[in-house]
Amino acid sequence: MKTFLKVLLMAVILILAIKFSPVLFIAAFAGLFVAAVLGAVGITLFAALLAVVLALAIALSPIWITVLAVMGLISLFRKTEERTPPMVAA
């Protein structure tokens, strides 16, 4: 008897799945459309953020390129001190 009830339950679930398949298809298609729109918006926002960061880096380049050049010259001409190597435990 238990097996008969299981088979009957599976048949009812199958009939319900067939009856509701158009509704599920429309819901899945709507979800796919929403995901595509949100993905396109996300990619657009990321590209806009990247453009803003690039424009900011280009606008501030007279400052940071000069700072990097000065730091490079300082590190190039700085007197190197003789440092004792760190003790290594044996």
User: How far apart (Å, rounded) are the C-alpha atoms in residues 13 and 16?
Assistant: 5
User: DSSP letters along 1-56, please?
Assistant: -HHHHHHHHHHHHHHHHHHHHHHHHHHHHHHHHHHHHHHHHHHHHHHHHHHHHHHH
For 68, half-sphere exposure in the C-beta direction (CA atoms, 13 angstrom radius) is 6
Please say if the pLDDT value at position 60 is more than 70.
Answer: yes
User: How far apart (Å, rounded) are the C-alpha atoms in residues 59 and 18?
Assistant: 61
pLDDT in tens, 66-88: 999 999 998 888 866 666 767 77
Per-domain boundaries in the chain: 9-73
Q: Average pLDDT of 3-14?
A: 92
pLDDT in tens, 18-56: 998 898 899 999 999 999 999 999 999 999 999 999 999
